[in-house]
């Protein structure tokens, strides 16, 4: 009985020593793991984005625009004031000296002829089609670039006899923010003149503008 009590007393005395030993071994293991692990370097993310604008030329058919003749201008009556300062004798003498000879017959009901409308041709209808000599890439809108917006604008331009752009018509736009830069770029295009029967003529040419961000 005494030996059993003595054995229990020895275990109670060694409990504290064993706990301290276990805690020390655990700390040593954590320190070894912490020192042994390599440092992880984290670099900030730098997005790489380039802005490119691809301009493609597409032959599309568009309807020929014909301007209607303007309506006749209304004729305003002109009031003639009679002067009472001239005597009857002077009027009779003036009538004898002046003879009126009708030279032109005017018809007040006849409308003036409509203005002459210059003929324009579609791209596919001319014998010698215009070719691009100078093309200008549209400026990418800063707001669209920051927002990551992409889109397309299709326009048609009227190329005159000198190869310059007279007018621009927007056919389709996926986003209105790209319309203004597309029109500005289209006006700066230069072409070789289109020809019909070896004569320079005005020709409608379609131009697509593609606004795309490359990531």
pLDDT of residue 35: 74
Q: Residues 35-74: pLDDT tens digits? A: 766 555 556 656 555 555 555 555 545 455 566 666 666 5
pLDDT of residue 1: 56
**What are the angstrom distances between the C-alpha of 114 and each of 33, 68, 74, 106?**
96, 9, 14, 18
- Mean pLDDT, 10 residues at a time, the chain of 215 residues: 58 72 83 68 57 54 58 57 53 54 53 68 93 95 94 96 96 96 97 94 96 86
Q: Do the beta carbons of residue 156 and residue 206 sit within 8 Å?
A: yes
Q: Which residues contact 52 (CB under 8 A, 6 or more apart)?
A: 212, 213, 214
Whole-angstrom Cα distance, residue 167 to residue 187?
Answer: 7
In the CATH scheme, what is the code of domain 50-62+118-214? 3.30.2420.10
Structural domain boundaries of the chain? 50-62+118-214
């Amino acid at each position: 009985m005494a030996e059993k009590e003595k054995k229990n007393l020895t275990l109670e005395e060694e409990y504290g020593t064993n706990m301290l030993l276990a805690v020390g071994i655990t700390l040593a293991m954590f320190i070894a793991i912490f020192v042994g692990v390599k440092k992880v370097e984290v670099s900030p993310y730098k997005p790489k984005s380039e802005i490119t604008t691809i301009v493609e030329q597409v032959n599309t058919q568009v309807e020929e625009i014909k301007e209607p003749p303007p309506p006749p201008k209304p004729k305003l009556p002109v009031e003639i004031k009679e002067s009472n300062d001239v005597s009857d004798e002077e009027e009779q003498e003036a009538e004898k000296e002046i003879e009126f000879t009708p030279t032109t017959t005017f018809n007040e009901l006849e409308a003036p002829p409509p203005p002459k409308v210059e003929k324009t041709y579609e791209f596919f209808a001319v014998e010698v089609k215009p070719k691009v000599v100078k093309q200008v890439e549209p400026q990418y809108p800063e707001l669209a670039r920051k927002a990551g917006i992409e889109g397309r604008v299709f326009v048609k331009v009227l190329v005159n006899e000198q190869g310059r752009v007279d007018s621009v018509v927007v056919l389709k736009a996926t986003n209105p923010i790209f319309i203004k830069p597309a029109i500005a770029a289209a006006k700066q295009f230069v072409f070789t003149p289109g020809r019909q029967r070896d004569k320079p003529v005005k020709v409608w040419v379609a131009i697509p503008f593609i606004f795309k961000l490359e990531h």
